[in-house]
Chains A and B, each alone.
Chain A
Amino acid sequence: MGVTAQDNKTRLLMDQSRSGRRGATIPALDVPRSDLPPDNMLRRELDLPELSEPEIIRYFIRLSSMNYSVDTNFYPLGSCTMKYNPKINDEIARLPGFARIHPFQPEETVQGALELLHHLQDLLAEITGMDAVSLAPSAGAHGEFSGMLLFRSYHKSRGDVKRQQILVPDSAHGTNPASAAMAGFEVVEVQSDAEGNTDLEDLRSKLSDSVAGIMLTMPSTLGLFDPNVEEVCNLVHEAGGLVYGDGANMNAILGKVKLGDLGFDVVHLNLHKTFSTPHGGGGPGAGPICVKEPFSRYLPKPHVEKIGEAYRLVAPEESVGAIGSFLGNFGVLVRAFVYIRTLGADGLRAVSENAVLNANYVLARLRDKYFLPYDRSCMHEVVFSANWQKRHGVKALDIGKRLLDHGFYAPTIYFPLIVEEAMMIEPTETETLETIDEFIDAMLDIAEEAEKDPDIVIGAPYTTPVIRLDEALAARQPDLRWTER
């Protein structure tokens, strides 16, 4: 046939199809025969691949073996907190009492599940220094959007309808301006100063009675603790605005800083990041919002409350309404609860201490070979720039690709947008010194290659199932459907 082993690796199910081959035998008809729907409702040419059972098994097992995950390798994808997720979380979430319940069951038959959610609300309120929590948002940006709806309701209830602007720092996650815009606000950018902190002068110039609030990430997306944060909160409050906290980087400050104490009004947490549930494939996630008392009346519904001895799903009095079906992703909430309870307060504090220590170790060992745009201690992640390598024609993208040949996932690149050729490395707390050293050694090797033989880096990767892709062509002329060749 002239088909090589390499071809077989990349052949699709469609390419392997042979007419008449099948993986299952349908039993003889043992129910009354009935007519098919009319012909115009039927599709005759379905083009489904026809394969034997072992072919299908081998196909999907082969694909699954190409998966890259934190269970197989180091995953320093900055801003995503790809920490190891303890398996006990999954074990507990799989218990029938959690896994086999349905949202339409009567409340009295799911009291245990509701009790867990109620406890989780209390734990998250304690961790963030807030008064009330909604577990309804299904992911970070969903939490942001819900938070913006709360801001809107708060101002509206006071008749303060002039406030149509949300301030967003230039270093913010792209979801922040998107969430504010989706909630109907106009987005105004606030600049960072030379140290990577919020530029207070720029902030002052943009504050007015049109400003509904500001969205801050703490620590910032540069992986830095902004010492101005309290003053930022004060300035915004003095101008009548509110402060929203993007808790994506909470892994840096667990048990160290309560965002409520700093002056934040509403924050979201990314349970799938900080509180450890698998999220590499894009979900499911959980982005609960934690709020100060004045905002609790607007929380999304349903909300878990304890009334007498019973746990009930209720709607807060001026709720912004339902923001999804039922109450978030319950399995993720169970995992987060187990994670928090397993570690306890001391354990959570140690999470952040080790996450910050590991990132600063990476910073210290790489700083001579990679440009550090903000030269100061970092929090749980460190942002380098590939500007020194760019002189040799090697960009952050090339370095990321070359890391794949070393068996590592690439750091986040080209974010935050305010750092040229950004490479954002988040080692997390769950990696051993040996693993982190291996990663650093790979980065140092690549820095040397960039100087001495840049073409090697520019052509990478060489060892992956698929080599360097033409990303521009793929985006310009997306080929999304199988067609017969």
Chain B
Amino acid sequence: MDSTALKYSKEHEWISVDDRDVHTVGITNYAQAELGDVVFVALPEVGAEVVQFSQMGEIESVKAVSDLFSPVSGVVVEVNEALADHPELVNQDPLGEGWLLKVRLSDANELDALMTEDEYEEMTEGLH
């Protein structure tokens, strides 16, 4: 996935940005590196409603269990079933095979509240 075609939340999730109304969500490369080896991902069910910047699931690594926050509001239309058996995909390919879910946006304007790749990188630089 072209990382410049993504937008980022301060909770370290990315979302694909294009003309379609279904968008893919995942966690960033920075997030997977900080979490360490991911061992379990708990995602909402298909059909569930998610709310921007609210908890939508949990991700467990060998270090800790962390909350997953939805970068946008909408309805979950698909979750990455492969993560149930292969949570390591989140580490190996966070922007590709390790995607979390696809969501149908309820308000496209919410994307404006997210960061560009440059802005996100600037934020994570500040975390060191």
User: Which residues of A452-477 are within 8 A (CB) of B?
Assistant: 471-472, 475-476
Q: Please, how many angstroms separate the alpha-carbon atoms of A471 and B128 in the complex?
A: 26
A387 at the interface (CB under 8 A from B): yes
Chain A residues within an 8 Å CB radius of B128 = 387, 420
Residue on A with the closest CB to B91? Answer: A472
Known: A387-B128, A420-B127. A475 touches B64 (CB 8 A): no
Cβ of B37 and Cβ of A471 under 8 Å apart?
Answer: yes
Q: Is the CB of A472 within 8 A of B39?
A: yes
CA distance A414 to B27 in the complex (A): 20
- Distance of B62 from chain A, by nearest CB (Å): 4
Residues in B53-94 with C-beta less than 8 Å from chain A? 60, 62-64, 87-88
* B88 engages A414 (CB within 8 Å): no
Assess whether A472 is in contact with B37, with CB atoms less than 8 Å apart: yes
Interfacial chain A residues near B64, Cβ < 8 Å:
414-415, 417
Q: Which residues of A contact B62 (CB under 8 A)?
A: 471-472, 475
**CB nearest neighbor in B for A469:** B62
User: How far does the alpha carbon of A420 sit from the alpha carbon of B34 in the complex, in Å?
Assistant: 8
Q: Is B120 part of the contact surface with A, judged by Cβ < 8 Å?
A: no
Question: Nearest-CB distance from B37 to chain A (Å)?
Answer: 3
Interface size class of A (residues with CB under 8 A): 10 to 19
CB distance from A181 to the nearest CB of B (A): 12
Interface of B is mostly: loop
B8 to chain A minimum Cβ distance, whole angstroms, is 19
Bound complex: CA of A397 vs CA of B62, how far in Å? 10
Chain B interface residue count, CB cutoff 8 Å, equals 14
Q: State how many angstroms separate the Cβ of B44 from the closest Cβ of chain A.
A: 18
Given the complex, which residues of B lie within 8 Å of A387, measured CB to CB? 128
* A475 to B62 alpha-carbon distance, docked (Å): 8
Docked Cα-Cα span, A301 to B87, in Å, equals 45
Interface membership of chain A positions 437-448, coded 1 if the CB is closer than 8 angstroms to chain B and 0 otherwise: 000000000000
Counting chain B CB atoms within 10 Å of each CB, which of A397, A420, A472 scores highest? A472
B10: min CB distance to chain A, Å: 13
Residues on the A chain within 8 Å of B34, using CB? 420
CB atoms of A414 and B37 under 8 A apart: no
B residues less than 8 Å from A472 (CB atoms): 36-39, 62, 88
Q: How far is the CA of A472 from the CA of B60 in the complex (A)?
A: 10
Cβ distance B28 to chain A, nearest Cβ, rounded Å: 16
* B85-122 with Cβ < 8 A to chain A: 87-88
Is the CB–CB distance between A475 and B39 below 8 Å?
A: yes
Give the distance to chain B from A415, nearest Cβ to Cβ, in Å. 8
| Nearest chain A residue, comparing its CB with the CB of B86 | A476
Chain A: CB-nearest residue to B62: A471
Residue of B37, B38, B60, B62 contacting most chain A CB atoms (<10 Å): B62
Is B127 touching A476 in the complex (CB atoms < 8 A)? no
**B63 contacts A476, C-beta separation under 8 Å:** no
Residues of chain A contacted by B39 (CB below 8 angstroms): 472, 475-476
Q: For B36, what are the chain A residues with a Cβ–Cβ distance below 8 Å?
A: 397, 472
CA of A471 to CA of B88, assembled, Å: 12
Name which residue of chain A comes closest to B37, CB basis.
A472
Compute how far the CA of A387 lies from the CA of B60 in the bound complex, rounded to whole angstroms: 22
In the complex, A475→B60 CA distance in Å?
A: 10
A475 cross-chain contacts in B, Cβ below 8 A: 37, 39-40, 60, 62
List, in ascending order, chain B residues with CB within 8 A of A420's CB.
34, 127-128
Partner of A414, one of B40, B63, B127: B63
- Determine the distance from Cα of A417 to Cα of B40 in the docked complex, in whole angstroms: 19
Distance from A386 Cβ to chain B, minimum over Cβ atoms (Å): 13
Cα distance A420–B63 when bound, in Å?
12
Instruction: Give CA–CA (A417, B34) in the complex, Å.
Output: 11
CB B68 to nearest CB in A, in angstroms, measures 15
- With most chain A CB atoms within 10 A of its CB, the pick from B34, B36, B40 is B36
- Chain A nearest Cβ from B66, distance in angstroms: 8
Complex CA–CA separation, A415 to B34 (angstroms): 13
In the bound complex, CA of A113 to CA of B85 (Å): 54
Interface residues of A in 87-117 (CB under 8 A from B): none
Min CB–CB distance B64 → chain A (angstroms): 6
- Interface bits B5-46 vs A (CB < 8 Å: 1, else 0): 000000000000000000000000000001011111000000
Given contact pairs A415-B64, A472-B38, A475-B39, a sample of 13 additional A-B residue pairs in the complex whose CB atoms are under 8 Å apart:
A397-B63, A414-B63, A414-B64, A417-B64, A420-B34, A420-B128, A471-B62, A472-B36, A472-B39, A472-B88, A475-B60, A476-B40, A476-B87
A-B contact pairs, 24 of them (CB 8 A): A397-B36, A397-B63, A414-B63, A414-B64, A415-B64, A417-B64, A420-B34, A420-B128, A471-B37, A471-B62, A472-B36, A472-B37, A472-B38, A472-B39, A472-B62, A472-B88, A475-B37, A475-B39, A475-B40, A475-B60, A476-B39, A476-B40, A476-B87, A476-B88
Pairs A-B, 9 closest by C-beta atoms: A472-B37, A475-B39, A471-B62, A414-B63, A476-B39, A472-B62, A472-B39, A414-B64, A475-B62
